[in-house]
Amino acid sequence: MRRLRQSAALRTLTRETELAARHLVQPLFVREDLAEPRAVASMPGVWQHTIDSLRREAAAAAEAGVGGVMLFGIPAQRDARGSAGDDPEGILNVATRAVVAEVGDAITVQTDLCLDEFTDHGHCGVIVDDGGVVTVDNDATLERYTAIACAQAESGAHLLGLSGMMDGQTAAVRQALDAAGHTDTVLMAYSAKYASAFYGPFRDAVDSQLDGDRRSYQIDPANRREGVREAVLDEAEGADIVMVKPALGFLDVVRDVRDAVRVPVWAYQVSGEYAMLEAAAANGWLERRSAIIESLTSIRRAGADTVLSYWATEAADWL
């Protein structure tokens, strides 16, 4: 077995899994009330951007050959229905237009389609308080998602990331976009999105207002088959791409979903995965660059066609 491992040239020639810049998507955060970029304390090297710095980061991603950028917006004002999400002058829609103008012909501009960044309660949908018991109203939330989807498409987003985990969201958004004439807008469904402990730093990055958890609509991390069922349903509803999130803790689900659907499968290397590796590297416990490349390669090896990663642009430069 060692014959094919004896030189760098042979190892490269016989490598089974390719990792290239085009396989990566860079998530980026833009905040409405900033005069200059602000560092995210729990994610070293990640920033909340102004419109100007966001344009520069998107341009750098395009120059590095990254496949796309996924934009998340942080509004100055929030309310219960997440009004900033479908406001044409809301921060994410303004930022989308700016990034499309900057790099729209060179890179796929993607937008997060959810309510959690825009609501004053931090949930991914419209909430109902029944005597102190707070629940998320699925169908009322779908109405908000369709409005936001049309606003994002009007702003020029090439791909919408449906991350809210409401039943029927893919079908509802596809129907609304088609009716509005946005038949070419791509839908990527966060199909197997788990109620993970590894989202903590992301909530710092978007200044989440969440009190409680999202276990009534995100998947139990103990469930493998359920993630596959979600992906198959989303494919049937018209998703062009399906997502597994998080990535490293759910490589078995990535493999299962890849085997079950015919559309592209993406995976999100989430904030907690990023933060723990950065912390270990900062302490000298891991060789940073090698560990980053190995982690990305493992997600590709499991079956992901594309990986969302906060290292995307940096790793693309290495690759």
Domain count, the chain: 1
Residues 52-58: what's their mean pLDDT? Answer: 98
Task: With respect to residue 11, please indicate whether it lies within any of the assigned structural domains.
Answer: no
pLDDT value of position 116: 92
Calpha distance 304→319 (Å, rounded): 18
Residues 306-318: what's their mean pLDDT? Answer: 98
Cis preceding-peptide flag for 44 (omega within 30 of 0): no
pLDDT value of position 200: 84
Set 97, 123, 174, 193: catalytic member: 193
- Alpha helices (H) in the chain, listed in sequence order: 8-13, 51-64, 91-103, 138-154, 169-179, 200-205, 225-237, 251-260, 271-282, 288-302, 312-318
Residues 289-315: what's their mean pLDDT? Answer: 98
pLDDT value of position 77: 94
Task: With respect to residue 8, please indicate whether it lies within any of the assigned structural domains.
Answer: no
Q: pLDDT over 70 for what percent of the chain? A: 100
> For residues 207 and 114, which has the higher predicted lDDT (pLDDT)?
114
Task: With respect to residue 261, please indicate whether it lies within any of the assigned structural domains.
Answer: yes
In the predicted structure, residue 209 carries a pLDDT above the cut 80: no
In the predicted structure, residue 165 carries a pLDDT above the cut 90: yes
Task: With respect to residue 13, please indicate whether it lies within any of the assigned structural domains.
Answer: no
Task: With respect to residue 78, please indicate whether it lies within any of the assigned structural domains.
Answer: yes
In the predicted structure, residue 46 carries a pLDDT above the cut 80: yes
Task: With respect to residue 167, please indicate whether it lies within any of the assigned structural domains.
Answer: yes
* C-alpha dist (Å) from residue 150 to 54, 93, 154: 22, 11, 6
Does the annotation mark 107 as catalytic?
no
Domain hosting 252: range is: 19-318
With beta carbons less than 8 A apart as the criterion, state whether 243 and 189 touch.
Answer: yes
Task: With respect to residue 6, please indicate whether it lies within any of the assigned structural domains.
Answer: no
Task: With respect to residue 117, please indicate whether it lies within any of the assigned structural domains.
Answer: yes
Calpha distance 133→243 (Å, rounded): 30
CATH number at residue 176: 3.20.20.70
Set 245, 265, 266, 315: catalytic member: 245
In the predicted structure, residue 122 carries a pLDDT above the cut 90: no
Does the annotation mark 193 as catalytic?
yes
> In whole angstroms, how large is the CA radius of gyration of the chain?
19
